[in-house]
Structure 1
Amino acid sequence: MANERRVQMDTTYKKIRVPGKLFIAGEYAVLEPDGQCIVVAVDRYVFAEVRRSEENRIDLPQLGYSDITWTAEESKLFFNVTGPKLSFIQNTVEVCHQYISELGVTPVPFNLSITSELDDPSGKKYGLGSSAAVVVAVVTAILNSHKEVGIQPTKELIFKLAAIAHFKTQGNGSCADIAASTYGGWLLYSPFYGGWLNERVQANVNAYALVHEPWPGLIISSIVPPKDIRLYIGWTGSEMRTAGMIQRVQDFKDKNPVGYKDFIDSSRAAVSSLVKSFTEGNTNLALQSLSMNREALLQLSDQSDANIETPKLKQLIEIADKYGAGKTSGAGGGDCGIAFIQKGQDAESLKNDWKKVFIEPLDLKVSLEGAMVT
């Protein structure tokens, strides 16, 4: 764009807070065209601090990186340090740089520091969507640093730039975790068509044009659970790698398309039923619907040998079912499971029963606010 402008950033810190996420229902099925899931933001956060500087620099103390710097040549950035752990962040910075430049603004240098409480200080990883939250934090920090030239860091803009960076790095995924970290609260989410976005990313489509056009298939809608439902989360003590789980399910889809379609149909029916329970405020239907989704995932687990519901997750769910309803959360194979119980039920007994079999109840609540400047 003509008439390039250079913005002077505020020299004070801008502090950003971005929540983690948990899947409630619709895992795996959400990866299909027109799939849907329910996802929620939780009150553990990634924090970012950004301020004006003489040079571009990022510090990631928890990853052991400091003084990550870069120079720009047109729309391409050149970093002094590279590596797999940095690819998400570096692609995010580059996407934001492109977007700001295409507005006719010369991006100003900044210092950005990122820390996270999504994992336990002891090193335990809970599966709360760390990569997605970090990407959202970087986008939010950079956009808010350029508000002085009229950039409006809306939730939609933050989500789309973060999703572009995600696809630039990974090339696939639903980006439901990015939606939860951006918007906060309980969300009904239907992903954009991944092939469509991937083609446009690979073709180096102008970032400004891309974020300001409709994204086919994308639905992000705030929803509210029945007022008597309480959400509890338990951690199994083991971690898993989402990519490996997804690959096993993909192999099953290729080998047994009929069985896979049965799963998709069952999952969609369960998610639709759960959405209906939210709309109607129907607690009993919410419990039934969560169990329906558990059964669909259990069938997929058994048929695909993906081990979605591990013995420890099975214990977690069976205990949850005594008080309400339970299921795995996310890809399964470890990490967390969830429980819906009705207000008035003995939540302490649920948590104590989990502890007896070495399942750690997590002190998490829903974060109603997504990415924000604090």
Structure 2
Amino acid sequence: MQARSYQIATPGKLLIAGEYAVTELNQPGIVVAVNRYINVSIAESNAQVLDLPQLGLNQVKWYYVNGKVTFSISDNRLRFMQQAMQTVYAYLTEQQITIQPFQLSVTSELDDSSGIKYGLGSSAAITVATISAILRLHKDETLDKDIIYKLAAISHFQTQGNGSCADIAASTYGGWLHYTSFDGSWLLKQLKTQCNISKIVDGNWASLHIEKLNLPSSLVFCVGWTGKAAATAPMVTRIQQLKENNQQVYQNFLTDSQKAVETIVNGCKTDNAKLMLDGIKQNRNVLRRLSNQAGVEIETTLLNQLANLAEDYGSGKSSGAGGGDCGIAFVEGEENVVKLNQVWEQIGIKTLDLMPSINGTRIIKHE
């Protein structure tokens, strides 16, 4: 009997609006899945090895003993995969499904050819891809996106301890998403007091909101890369210090961010390009004020130029934490896309040929 095998494609993401605020309870954001993928191949095999050739890691043996996943080497770059495997194994064991040995290989389209990250959410995508592949190998049925999302969110919190998981939602469900996170403190409490992963998955994830959106029909989505990877951890720390030291200023930021996101959402729901462009401008201004108040450079010189040039054709802003990585723009008409790409390239911004990935994580081949 031929060994079963599957290929899974899981998209990366870009955060469109609601940056920093979306990590808070009941604060909305907008995220989109993009057509750059983590590709995972999984096949039944007694070899029990992992191959990640782009990281120079080949034939890494894995073991699952007494509820713990271990690897034959110690490499911090494998921590998200390790925790994803451990989380999904706990879930499968609770479902009384026997763990199958397999061989798994991973390739990524989320970074530059030089290895510099674009900021497309590689840790979230590898977590979702790993869980999707292992679930499909063990459960001969269509991938359940809600289960994948929750297992990936659990795995992420077990690895990192915080975050909005908007990137996990994008990689799982695909498309343009209006997103509000679950209560992270609730999940941490569950993980400390509740040993049963299945009960957490089946529980009520209060405040979680994931809603598909459509971009206004006259707008075109553009992405420019600054060529510099962002160092997000120090920036997040400074924002946290602002929250602790000046609660009123931080609350004003949350209120303004929510208004901007709601404007964008209304523009999408009513096919109103002007409303959406206004919301993008509002969110850019909100983030610039936050940058000044917290003493962090969210909008670098190059991101500032990127967004200012976009204003001539539509509206633009930084994406995600800022400080590098990508900026985004929405413009009306393909002729304006060409013009914007030209002026971006004149100042050293590389246009990325990215489009929304509508389907999220999916099986692209099985044997």
TM-score (norm 2): 0.96
Aligned to 2:116, the other structure's residue is in SS state: coil
Aligned 8 A contact 1:38 1:189 in 2: yes
Aligned to 1:291, the other structure's residue is in SS state: helix
Task: Look up the match of 2:195.
Answer: 205
The within-5 A match list for 1:320-339 is: 320-339=310-329
- 2:14 aligned residue (7, 22, 47): 22
Q: Aligned pair 1:83/2:75, yes or no?
A: yes
Mapped to 2, the partners of 1:244 and 1:154 lie a distance apart of 36
Mapped to 2, the partners of 1:335 and 1:51 lie a distance apart of 35
Mapped to 2, the partners of 1:192 and 1:205 lie a distance apart of 19
Aligned 8 A contact 1:143 1:152 in 2: no
Aligned 8 A contact 2:50 2:62 in 1: no
- 1:260 aligned residue (240, 250, 274): 250
Mapped to 2, the partners of 1:349 and 1:105 lie a distance apart of 56
Aligned 8 A contact 2:5 2:137 in 1: no
Unmatched tracts of structure 1, length 5 or more: 1-7
Mapped to 1, the partners of 2:184 and 2:93 lie a distance apart of 25
Aligned to 1:69, the other structure's residue is in SS state: strand
Aligned to 1:40, the other structure's residue is in SS state: strand
Q: Aligned pair 1:115/2:107, yes or no?
A: yes
Q: Aligned pair 1:168/2:147, yes or no?
A: no
Aligned to 2:64, the other structure's residue is in SS state: strand
- Map Cα deviations across residues 56-105 of structure 1 (whole Å, 9 max, x no partner): 22111111222222333332233322332111110100011111111111
Mapped to 1, the partners of 2:169 and 2:235 lie a distance apart of 21
The within-5 A match list for 1:126-141 is: 126-141=118-133
Q: Aligned pair 1:245/2:253, yes or no?
A: no
Mapped to 2, the partners of 1:314 and 1:275 lie a distance apart of 24
Following superposition, the deviation at residue 122 of structure 1 comes to 2.2
Following superposition, the deviation at residue 240 of structure 1 comes to 1.0
Mapped to 1, the partners of 2:302 and 2:246 lie a distance apart of 27
Mapped to 2, the partners of 1:123 and 1:77 lie a distance apart of 28
Mapped to 1, the partners of 2:97 and 2:193 lie a distance apart of 23
Aligned to 1:42, the other structure's residue is in SS state: strand
Aligned to 1:174, the other structure's residue is in SS state: coil
Following superposition, the deviation at residue 260 of structure 1 comes to 1.1
Task: Look up the match of 1:38.
Answer: 30
- Map Cα deviations across residues 320-370 of structure 1 (whole Å, 9 max, x no partner): 011110111000001111001112552111011001110111111111110
Task: Look up the match of 2:56.
Answer: 64
Aligned 8 A contact 1:323 1:345 in 2: no
Identity across aligned pairs (percent)?
A: 44
Aligned residues: 364
- 1:53 aligned residue (33, 45, 58): 45
Mapped to 2, the partners of 1:218 and 1:280 lie a distance apart of 23
- 1:94 aligned residue (54, 79, 86): 86
Aligned to 1:367, the other structure's residue is in SS state: coil
Unmatched tracts of structure 2, length 5 or more: none
The more displaced of 332-341 and 70-79 is 70-79
Following superposition, the deviation at residue 152 of structure 1 comes to 5.2
- Map Cα deviations across residues 8-43 of structure 1 (whole Å, 9 max, x no partner): 9x6142000011100110000101111110000100
Q: Aligned pair 1:353/2:343, yes or no?
A: yes
Superposed structure 1 runs of 4+ greater than 3 Å apart? none
Following superposition, the deviation at residue 214 of structure 1 comes to 1.8
Mapped to 2, the partners of 1:243 and 1:263 lie a distance apart of 20
Task: Look up the match of 1:3.
Answer: none
Mapped to 1, the partners of 2:198 and 2:4 lie a distance apart of 28
Mapped to 2, the partners of 1:63 and 1:344 lie a distance apart of 38
Aligned 8 A contact 2:84 2:127 in 1: yes
Task: Look up the match of 1:106.
Answer: 98
Mapped to 2, the partners of 1:234 and 1:94 lie a distance apart of 37
Aligned 8 A contact 1:55 1:110 in 2: yes
The more displaced of 49-58 and 92-101 is 49-58
Mapped to 2, the partners of 1:78 and 1:367 lie a distance apart of 33
What value does the CA root-mean-square deviation take over the aligned residues?
Answer: 1.4
Over 3 Å counting, the alpha-carbon distance change for 1:218 and 1:272 in structure 2 is same
Task: Look up the match of 1:316.
Answer: 306
Aligned 8 A contact 2:220 2:334 in 1: no
Aligned to 1:145, the other structure's residue is in SS state: helix
The more displaced of 263-272 and 152-161 is 152-161
- Map Cα deviations across residues 288-319 of structure 1 (whole Å, 9 max, x no partner): 11000000000001111111011111000000
Mapped to 1, the partners of 2:334 and 2:360 lie a distance apart of 29
Following superposition, the deviation at residue 204 of structure 1 comes to 4.9
Task: Look up the match of 1:270.
Answer: 260
- Map Cα deviations across residues 180-232 of structure 1 (whole Å, 9 max, x no partner): 01100000110011111112223353111111112111111111121111110
The more displaced of 210-219 and 79-88 is 79-88
Aligned 8 A contact 2:179 2:209 in 1: yes
Aligned 8 A contact 2:174 2:360 in 1: yes
Counterpart residue identity of residue 159, structure 2: T
